[in-house]
Structure 1
């Protein structure tokens, strides 16, 4: 029996549930038991797990990575899991390495694929700035893994989990003090978009010029890593291995060369249009439709055509 624990991120519950697919792949041909860890979470809509370990304590500071590390360690000490899976959000990237150090095991971060042969499990992740893929063999226990949101998908979520309430034996006081709270308008996450207009280094105009086209197509604007590094686009709209993974129906790549780092951020894209002056750009080999030409000119002509 392969036993896996998934930490449910309260801000990204659906993406956390998708990690069930990762646990199933890790188990290979072994039977698998998948447990979710819910900390101060309303669990009525959480389905698909075999069991749900619930920790309910109002004093828990949910955004303190040290406190959460203590809780996960206590849960693991009682149940002894073969693998612990954590979503690679900004917060998850603080918890996962802390927990790996605490349990004295390695951590394979930002995996994109899994290969299992017998008892050997190989975790695949981009390496060297996304220029190649590394295959990492895990022989320590538990296998510690962090996974980008939206890379793996668990479609069937009907199963009602068995609920278990876990009492915390010792809860350390949080060192985080809330000084003030402010609210801001929630922006549309590009991971939810069905149409994405994405600009790369070959798009020489201001990225805000894509807003009209995005409105016409009821889509969202995204960017490649070079634009973010040039401070021409915010990091929250970056697509790629070090950004976000997207699965739109239509992805329009404007002046994007198509490095492995960027391509790793594209999963299950139905239609891809690549606009590039370089006919040999790798992105063109992934596209359904290739436009050889200037990306900014293409945008202006497409807007005119849509108005007609």
Structure 2
């Protein structure tokens, strides 16, 4: 039997449930038993886990990674899970290494695949800026891994058994909330069915793509170089260090297609790659390849769409 613990992120419930697939793959040929650790899960309907370990602390500062680390440590000391899996959100990336250090184990961050052979478990992640894949053998317990949202998918309706966990005394949070600002209601690129994505080969203003993205009822995204050049915010970056997307249509404008970027594309139905470089790796993944300037392509596509209105 292989017991796994998944840390449930209240802001990403569906993505947290998807991590059950990670736990099942880690189990390999052993029976997989998956528990979710939920904090203040008031009136939230969650299925797919074998059990839910609930911690109810209404006054808890959930965004303090040190407090959450204390809770996870207490739960692990009680149940002794074989693996602990964390969603690699901005907050999860603060929690996971703290927990790993507290438990004196290693952490494999941003995994994209799992390989189990007999009882050897290998966690696979991009390395060297996405230029190669590293296969990491995990022989410590618990195995700790973080996973990007939308990389793995799980469909399950199992009703979990629910138990309450009594936390020992916690140190008070040192974080003070000074203000809360509501973010603009822009579409999350992970939810878009059509994505118009620009890379280093797209030399016009990224904002110019908003019109055609709206026309296609989609969203604008970018590759890593444009974020590094400060031409676009990281919130719309696709790739291993950005977000993982699964649109029906992905229009790649001047995107070379490094492994780091390709790892951000999961279950994409159709890819149109526009590039002046015939040998761009993304061209070999695309359903349709256009050899030419990306800006010229967008201008002509925009004109053609306007003719159809």
Given the two structures, how large is their TM-score scaled by the length of structure 2?
0.98
> 1:42: how far off?
2.6
Structure 2: gaps of 5 or more residues: none
Could you tell me which residue of structure 1 aligns to residue 196 of structure 2? Answer: 197
Could you tell me which residue of structure 2 aligns to residue 154 of structure 1? Answer: 154
SS at match of 2:214: helix
> 1:272: how far off?
0.2
Which shifted more, 167-176 or 246-255? 167-176
1:7-156 pair list within 5 angstroms: 7-42=7-42, 44-155=44-155
Measured in 1, the distance between the counterparts of 2:206 and 2:2 equals 47
Measured in 2, the distance between the counterparts of 1:185 and 1:283 equals 32
> 1:182: how far off?
2.6
User: What's the Cα RMSD here?
Assistant: 0.8
The CA deviation string for residues 192-231 of structure 1, in whole angstroms up to 9 with x for no partner, is 0000000000000000110110011000000000111111
Could you tell me which residue of structure 1 aligns to residue 208 of structure 2? Answer: 209
Is it true that 1:246 corresponds to 2:245 in the alignment? yes
Measured in 2, the distance between the counterparts of 1:264 and 1:211 equals 24
Is it true that 1:305 corresponds to 2:304 in the alignment? yes
SS at match of 1:152: coil
Measured in 2, the distance between the counterparts of 1:42 and 1:216 equals 39
Could you tell me which residue of structure 1 aligns to residue 261 of structure 2? Answer: 262
Which shifted more, 36-45 or 132-141? 36-45
Which shifted more, 286-295 or 165-174? 165-174
The CA deviation string for residues 43-76 of structure 1, in whole angstroms up to 9 with x for no partner, is 5321000000000011211000000000000011
> 1:305: how far off?
1.0
Measured in 2, the distance between the counterparts of 1:117 and 1:77 equals 28
Measured in 2, the distance between the counterparts of 1:243 and 1:185 equals 19
> 1:180: how far off?
2.1
Could you tell me which residue of structure 2 aligns to residue 171 of structure 1? Answer: 170
SS at match of 1:302: helix
SS at match of 1:85: strand
> 1:183: how far off?
2.3
Could you tell me which residue of structure 2 aligns to residue 272 of structure 1? Answer: 271
Closer, same or farther: CA 29–160 of 1 in aligned 2, 3 Å: same
SS at match of 1:240: coil
> 1:179: how far off?
1.7
The CA deviation string for residues 259-307 of structure 1, in whole angstroms up to 9 with x for no partner, is 1110010000000000001111111000000000000000011111112
Measured in 1, the distance between the counterparts of 2:59 and 2:73 equals 18
SS at match of 2:272: strand
SS at match of 1:44: coil
Measured in 2, the distance between the counterparts of 1:212 and 1:145 equals 39
SS at match of 1:99: helix
